[in-house]
Structure 1
Amino acid sequence: MDQQRNIGFIIVFLLFISCTANTRFPVSATVPAAEITAVRKKDKNQNYVVEIKAKYLAEASRLQPPKNNYCVWIVTTDGITKNIGQLSVSNIKKTELKAVTPFEFNEVFITAEDRGDVTYPSGVEISRTRFKK
């Protein structure tokens, strides 16, 4: 009985971690002190949940040239680039973004932009990463 319960627990655990992908962004030449990670997983509605966590990310206004905010983008499996939100840097030690999207994607990147509601990246690219398939 205990062995069956343990096997059941292991199967559920493996299913859970198989739906979650983690990745680290490479060191950025623009903000080299930043440590940025991304997590992608599916929710119960089959949407993708994206969690971006950044430590030591300088305020966008301190960049050269100065910008107003950081935008987070995904590249869908169809090759379409979508803005999924902004990273607000009010506490230089840590900032987070959690967004939900119906689009399947394997690539995430961050740009510094003048406005947060842009539909196509035009600012300085901070860093880019891909999830392993």
Structure 2
Amino acid sequence: MKTIKHITLSLVIAIALNACTPKMAFTSSSVVPAASGTINVKKDKNENYTLKVNVHNLAESKNLTPSKGSYLVWMKQNDRSVKKLGQLNPSGKTLTASLSATAVAKPQEVFITAEDNAEILYPAGQTVLTTEK
């Protein structure tokens, strides 16, 4: 009987932890086929969402065809509005890039675009990676 209680408790804890820290993965890209990455989402003590984006094998934006100035990370919210989270700058042998951001709303989709200008307020360039299926 004690074993069943321990198993049940372990399952409840695992489900609770999984609900608090969802992990999203980017789908493969035809623009940058070798690129891959994940997004970890957590709710903080202020009821905001913290997002940690990690991407690997993301070719430098200047090497795309046509050449672009930067990669920007965006999220879609429940109301279908889009919020810019920040810029990615791949570096090193594995062309790794990461970004930490905070959002008031829970992300429904996270995507990365290749843009000419990092200062834009809305996505205009080609989507490179997305969590949308």
Pairing 1:25–2:26 present = yes
Corresponding residue for 2:54?
53
Alpha-carbon spacing, 1:29–1:130, altered in 2? closer, same or farther (3 Å): closer
Corresponding residue for 1:86?
87
Corresponding pairs, count? 131
Corresponding residue for 1:100?
102
Q: TM-score by structure 1 length? A: 0.85
Tell me which moved more, 98-107 or 86-95.
86-95
Higher strand residue share = 1
Looking at structure 2, the residues matched to 62 and 26 of structure 1 have their Cα atoms a distance apart, in angstroms, of: 21
- 1:9 shift after superposition: 7.3
Tell me which moved more, 96-105 or 53-62.
96-105
After superposition, give the CA deviation of every residue in 1:8-32 in whole Å (9 maximum; x if it has no partner).
7775554332111112111110100
Alpha-carbon spacing, 1:92–1:83, altered in 2? closer, same or farther (3 Å): farther
Asked if the contact 1:58–1:92 (Cα under 8 Å) also holds between the matched residues in 2, the reply is no
- The residue type equivalent to 1:59 in the other structure is E
- The residue type equivalent to 1:67 in the other structure is K
After superposition, give the CA deviation of every residue in 1:25-65 in whole Å (9 maximum; x if it has no partner).
11110100111111112111111111111111100000001
Asked if the contact 1:55–1:92 (Cα under 8 Å) also holds between the matched residues in 2, the reply is no
Looking at structure 2, the residues matched to 92 and 102 of structure 1 have their Cα atoms a distance apart, in angstroms, of: 35
Alpha-carbon spacing, 1:12–1:44, altered in 2? closer, same or farther (3 Å): farther
Q: Indicate the percent of aligned positions where both proteins have the same amino acid.
A: 35
Residues 56-75 of structure 1 mapped to structure 2, 5 A cutoff: 56-75=57-76
Gaps of 5+ in 1: none
- The residue type equivalent to 1:83 in the other structure is K
Computed over aligned residues only, the root mean square deviation of the Cα atoms, in angstroms, reads 2.2
- 1:7 shift after superposition: 7.7
Corresponding residue for 1:125?
127
- The residue type equivalent to 2:127 in the other structure is E
- 1:105 shift after superposition: 2.1
